[in-house]
């Protein structure tokens, strides 16, 4: 595999993407809402006097958690402990939802889009191997979602430290659980979703069909990832590492088999259902 | 005989129940210009795709530049340029971006991009998004993209479809220039005038196979054995005398009297007889065989052969 050609594919896709406002404005808004707006207002509300009932509700939820987790909660007041719990535990799934949603939207169009534009013919006659095309498309789909997550995560960390830090004695975020989540668990889940989505994108007839199919395919993955990330954040060590490892293995298998879906005939639109 | 750069032997390719290419044998010598003539659906585009390995044949053998497209397609595609019927670009990228992408794939440096753009007079628009290009500009950019790596083989599939005369000329000039530099060119078209004067070999395709192939002059000799001569006279009524001459096979009035003769050798006798009978001739013009004549004559002959 020639990596210069893989990067050429990824680069041209990313350039097209970032020149397309129809794509990046809604996706930036999505990331902004989940990583910035929602945490900011929720954490601000918790520190206000009028949010007593919200703090009590979160306190109720925290009391139902296992003892060791309750012991890990930091904060000098009920409001501080609630804000800490909210920032560290309850918002963890956003780290999964944002990249999966953004990367899925890119991935769904990436191969069927070449066919619809007619540029698939150019790729089919190029010296690129089918594997290079696949990996290039994969990279172009991963980067926007993961980039949004990294940037969003940095801003989120800043907000959490500014809002909750004074309650717990200084800057404390990201915690170990979040580092594991962002660096070890999120990437394979993106890969798993994209392995399925690119497989779909190579096989469906139109971009609209690809979007619909990818939504159906990624929804269960998002739900599973949501559930797992919620649980993992409470136990950032062994179970998180194990889940991440399993996810990486599944991702590897998915990517290996998903790559076979990209071939020159499909880029030309031959053998498509209904064509 | 020169080495064969493209060599297809008994190639078959089907799509479900449809046989797009059926027992096709095609020989393209190095440094030649071969024109595939045929109506839509004749299998021309599938043939181009089989040559680059974009499609794989169901049976038969294909060798391009000595390589098997099924095994060494990358080698072939690295040395081949293709201009598809409707060249597609990344519309929200600039012309320069599109050329740079091609340059990256074929390992060409920045000088190659400028040279390709200059060659087709598209440099002035390289900073514009391709979505704003006219059809002619898009085609010129597609041509630049196809030859950016100075390919050994150029495959043009209906390259002038829908083009303005200026852009069409750019395509034909490219073919002449590359042919002059010893490159091998295969062009698919159903526009016969395009192939006029540039083809070393004409292949008539129909129903997925090569119905006949050869140098235009040889094909003309084979299919246009009876020459046509246009006559006119001060008094056209007197030309009726010619229609009954023994040398005339058929005649047609069309801005003059078009006589199909059994051979050119009978023309002097015919003219002499008309003059002696008092016909004051104002025009005696042998019609040079064109590819258009040839194409329709070949088609007619094939239909008769098919019964």
Half-sphere exposure of A239 (CA within 13 A, CB side): 10
B190 and B239 share one domain: no
In a domain, B138, yes or no: yes
Residue B63 falls within a domain, yes or no?
A: yes
Is position B162 within any domain?
Answer: yes
Same domain, B206 and B229: no
User: How many domains in chain B?
Assistant: 2
Q: Are residues B89 and B115 in the same domain?
A: yes
pLDDT the model gives residue B224 = 72
Tell me whether residues B88 and A118 touch, CB distance under 8 A: yes
The answer to whether residue B298 is domain-embedded is: no
**B202 shares its domain with B256:** no
Are residue B236 and residue B177 in the same domain, yes or no? no
Q: Same structural domain for residues B144 and B30?
A: yes
Query: Alpha-carbon distance B34 to B28, whole Å?
Result: 7
CATH number, domain at B277?
3.30.70.980
B65 and B190 in a single domain? The answer is yes
Domain edge (last residue) among B198, B221, B244: B221
User: Among B221, B248, B270, where does a domain finish?
Assistant: B221
- Cα–Cα distance measured from residue A235 to residue A232, given in angstroms and rounded to the nearest whole number: 5
What region does B155 belong to: left with phi over 0, alpha with psi -120 to 50, or beta?
Answer: beta
Residue B295 lies in a domain: no
Decide: helix, strand or coil at residue B227.
Answer: coil
What CATH number is given to the structural domain containing B116? 3.40.50.300
Chosen for mutation from A5, A116, A125 (greatest number of chain B CBs closer than 10 Å) is A125
Report the residue from A5, A19, A264 with minimal CB separation from B54.
A264
Minimal C-alpha gap between B198 and chain A (Å): 25
Average pLDDT over residues A242-269: 88
Question: CB of A172 within 8 A of CB of A74?
Answer: yes
Give A229's pLDDT tier (boundaries 50, 70, 90).
low
Domain span including residue B240: 225-288
Nearest CB to B90; choose among A5, A119, A124: A119
CA distance B175 to B193: 14
Whether residue A12 and residue B97 make contact (CB cut-off 8 A), yes or no, is yes
Among the partner-chain residues A119, A124, A127, the one whose CB lies closest to the CB of B74 is: A127
What is the pLDDT at residue A58?
A: 72
Judge contact between A99 and A55, C-beta under 8 A: no
Pick the closest to residue B113 from B149, B79, B142 (CA basis). Answer: B149
Chain A partners of B53 at a C-beta cutoff of 8 Å?
264
CA B60 to chain centre: 24
Q: Is residue B302 part of a domain?
A: no
The verdict on B163 and B214 lying in the same domain is yes
- Do B125 and B36 share a structural domain? yes
Distance from CA of A187 to the nearest CA of B (A): 28
Chain B residues whose C-beta is within 8 A of a chain A C-beta are: 15, 49, 52-55, 74, 77-78, 80, 82, 84, 86-93, 97, 101-102, 104-107, 145
A126 and B77 within 8 Å at the Cβ level: the answer is: yes
The verdict on residue B38 lying in a domain is: yes
Confidence of residue A275 (pLDDT cuts 50, 70, 90): very low
| B92: chain A residues, CB-CB within 8 Å | 16, 19-20
Q: Is B99 found in the same domain as B211?
A: yes
Rounded to an integer, the average pLDDT of B208-225 is: 80
**B51 contacts in chain A (CB < 8 Å):** none
Residue A105 has, within 13 A of its CA and on its CB side, a CA count of 17
Cβ distance B84 to A4 less than 8 Å, yes or no, reads no
Each residue of B156-188: pLDDT tens digit? 998 877 777 777 887 888 888 888 888 999 999
- Best of A126, A263, A271 to disrupt the B interface (most B CBs within 10 Å) is A126
Q: Tell me the pLDDT tens digit for each residue of B251-293.
A: 989 889 999 998 888 999 999 999 999 999 999 998 876 777 7
- Is B175 found in the same domain as B131? yes
């Amino acid at each position: 595999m020639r990596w210069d050609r893989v990067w050429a594919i990824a680069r041209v896709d990313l350039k097209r993407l970032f020149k397309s406002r129809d794509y990046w404005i809604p996706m930036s808004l999505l990331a902004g809402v989940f990583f910035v707006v929602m945490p900011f207002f929720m954490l601000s509300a918790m520190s206000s006097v009028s949010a007593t009932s919200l703090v009590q509700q979160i306190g109720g939820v925290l009391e139902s958690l296992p003892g060791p987790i309750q012991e890990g909660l930091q904060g000098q007041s009920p409001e501080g402990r609630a804000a800490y719990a909210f920032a560290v535990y309850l918002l963890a799934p956003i780290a999964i939802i944002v990249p999966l949603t953004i990367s899925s939207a890119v991935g769904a169009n990436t191969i069927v889009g070449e066919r619809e534009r007619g540029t698939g013919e150019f790729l089919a006659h190029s010296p690129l191997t089918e594997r290079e095309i696949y990996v290039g498309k994969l990279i172009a789909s991963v980067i926007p979602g993961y980039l949004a997550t990294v940037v969003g995560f940095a801003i989120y960390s800043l907000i959490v430290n500014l809002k909750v830090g004074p309650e717990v004695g200084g800057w404390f975020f990201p915690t170990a659980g979040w580092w594991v989540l962002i660096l070890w668990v999120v990437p394979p889940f993106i890969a798993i979703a994209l392995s399925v989505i690119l497989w779909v994108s190579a096989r469906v007839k139109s971009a609209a069909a690809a979007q619909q199919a990818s939504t159906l395919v990624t929804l269960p993955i998002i739900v599973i990832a949501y559930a797992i990330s919620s649980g993992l954040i409470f136990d950032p060590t062994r179970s998180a590492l194990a889940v991440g490892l399993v996810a990486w293995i599944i991702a590897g298998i998915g990517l290996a088999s998903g790559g076979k879906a990209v071939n020159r005939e499909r880029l030309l639109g031959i053998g498509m259902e209904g064509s | 005989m020169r080495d064969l750069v493209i060599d297809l032997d008994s190639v078959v390719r089907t799509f479900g129940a449809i046989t797009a290419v059926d027992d096709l044998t095609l020989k393209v010598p190095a440094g030649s210009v071969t024109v595939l003539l045929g109506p839509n659906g004749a299998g021309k585009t599938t043939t181009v795709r089989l040559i680059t390995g974009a499609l794989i044949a169901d049976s038969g053998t294909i060798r391009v530049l000595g390589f098997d497209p099924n095994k060494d397609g990358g080698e072939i595609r690295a040395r081949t340029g293709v201009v598809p019927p409707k060249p597609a670009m990344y519309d929200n990228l600039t012309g320069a971006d599109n050329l740079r992408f091609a340059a990256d794939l074929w390992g060409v440096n920045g000088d190659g991009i400028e040279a390709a753009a200059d060659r087709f007079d598209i440099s002035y628009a390289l900073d514009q998004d391709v979505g704003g290009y006219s059809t002619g500009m898009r085609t010129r950019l597609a041509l630049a993209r196809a030859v950016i790596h100075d390919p050994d083989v150029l495959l043009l599939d209906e390259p002038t479809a829908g083009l303005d005369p200026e852009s069409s000329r750019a395509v034909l000039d490219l073919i002449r220039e590359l042919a002059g530099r010893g490159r091998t060119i295969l062009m698919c078209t159903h526009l016969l005038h395009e192939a006029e004067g540039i083809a070393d070999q004409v292949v008539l395709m129909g129903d997925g196979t090569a119905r006949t192939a050869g140098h235009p002059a040889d094909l003309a000799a084979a299919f246009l054995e009876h020459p046509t001569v246009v006559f006119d006279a001060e008094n056209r009524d007197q030309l009726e005398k010619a229609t009954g001459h023994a040398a005339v096979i058929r005649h047609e009035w069309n801005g003059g009297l078009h006589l199909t003769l059994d051979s050119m050798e009978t023309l002097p006798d015919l003219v002499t007889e008309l003059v002696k009978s008092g016909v004051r001739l104002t025009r005696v013009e042998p019609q040079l065989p064109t590819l258009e004549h040839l194409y329709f004559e070949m088609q007619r002959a094939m239909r008769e052969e098919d019964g």
